[in-house]
Amino acid sequence: MSKNKFELHEERLGTTDELGHRIFLFPEEVKGFWRKRRSLFYWFLIAIYLILPWIYIGGKQSIKLDIANREFTFFSYSFFASNAPLLLFLFLGFVFTIGFITSIWGRVWCGWACPQTVFIDTIYRKIEILVEGNPRQRQKLDEAKWDFEKIWKRSLKWFLFTVVSLHISHTFLGYFVGTHELLAISLQSPMAHKTLFFAMLIITTIFLLDFGWFREQFCIIACPYGRFQSVMMDENTMTVVYDEKRGEPRRQPGMKKEEHADCVNCYACVKACPTGIDIRRGMQLECIACTNCIDACDDIMEKTNRPKGLVRYDSLANIEGNKAKILRPRNMVYLSAIVVIIIGLIYSLNISTDMNVTILKGLGTPYTVMHNEEGQILNHFQITLDQSGELKDREVEIDVLEKENLGIDLKVPRNPYLLKKNHARVNVFLKFKKEILEKGSKKIKFKVKDLSNNKEIIREVSIVGPIN
């Protein structure tokens, strides 16, 4: 076993001991070029997360996933269940964009934009520093017995964690429920909205335990992105690397200055790492490319009058003396897929209308035989109208093509129908003679016309009746 506790064992993680028990990490705070820029970017992302759901465009929340009504709003444009191709384009676009970014810059998402990293680094760890002190003081407190000081500091820390987690979880719910609706619900009794209340408690608990306790274990054990990142990266990928040619052989006890290379073996990079790895061992699954080790090493290089960049953003190809290739088959595949997805999305949006129409059979029996002289058949349909564009009052006219020739009598409670909300259901009844049916059914076409722009939407349905 190594005398230095920061000299990590080759066959186990830096977060586990020889018995497999978890070792809690207390990463050193660093300052430097990357730390400053990362902090500013973190606060920018947090501001977006907190402010975005309160921004309304055209009467609609900027981003909202309304699961109950199966509606996804993205900057005033609404997607419904019937808009599956558009949602598929958005999802695939996100996947291939992440793949493209990873193939060029490695796990930059993990270190710079992942909510796990952003919230822990910017808020939760800052609370720890405020309440429990620097890393050495926190570790000392962690190892101490449960006396009065430890109890009150831990209690205060977890109380502040809980307050922050509650705020994050309420904002998170705002993306699903709606911020105005959630604000009104929050002022009522929890028992008035039990499902939402318990959902909030579960989400808060998850955030609290993950950001406050589980932390780097999520990145190492649970995160799927960390698992499949290796298939998207190669020797040309820009990531956080250690320049072995400059750093080896490292300084060892008893060595003279001229006997070792630039790495003074101070373990500053290990002490600063939030996942507990030694970047000098090469690319590792646990590395989230947060740049803490870069700033920590640059600080030491400056103090020892050595050039910075022993640990830096670079590619393995450049480190080995070869020129990294930006345009390569892997990147071109991702980029081509993104271009195709963007074209498909633009085309789908261009052919889409400001209103989405879904027609389903009404509840109950498929048809009713009316007791009148003509023995007509009655079919009930339910037409769902969803505003996918700008939210405004629309007059909608519902009709059936060739209804006079077919002898179909259309009954609508109000026609034209005034659509005042973004979502409405209209009950429509059709009366017709059974002679127009062929083997108990016939295909007809509904015409739904938006009188505000004269755009027409045609939907084909089947009317049914007795076979004989």
pLDDT number for residue 203: 97
Could you report the per-residue pLDDT of 256-287, keeping only the tens digit for each? 888 788 999 999 999 999 999 999 998 888 99
Of residues 6 and 102, which shows the higher confidence score?
Answer: 102
Domain boundaries, the chain: 1-61+106-321, 355-464
Q: What's the whole-number mean pLDDT along residues 58-83? A: 83
Both tokens assigned to 223: 């995160």
pLDDT number for residue 60: 86
pLDDT number for residue 342: 92
Could you report the per-residue pLDDT of 203-227, keeping only the tens digit for each? 999 999 999 999 999 999 899 888 7
Nearest alpha-carbon partner for 313 in 106, 16, 67: 106
pTM of the model: 0.83
User: Three-state SS for 282?
Assistant: coil
CATH superfamily assigned to domain 355-464: Immunoglobulins (2.60.40.10)
pLDDT at 154 over 90: yes
Could you report the per-residue pLDDT of 292-313, keeping only the tens digit for each? 999 999 999 999 999 999 999 9
- Weakest mean pLDDT among 102-106, 155-159, 186-190, 227-231: 227-231
> Could you tell me the CA-to-CA distances from 107 to 70, 96, 98, 139, 226 in Å, in that order?
33, 14, 9, 29, 8
CB within 8 Å of 197: residues ≥ 6 apart: 190, 191
Cα-based angle 51, 52, 55 (whole degrees, multiple of 5) = 95
pLDDT number for residue 1: 42
Which 8-state DSSP code applies to residue 438? B
Q: How confident is the model at residue 390 (pLDDT cuts 50, 70, 90)?
A: low
The fraction of the chain above a pLDDT of 90, given in percent, is 61
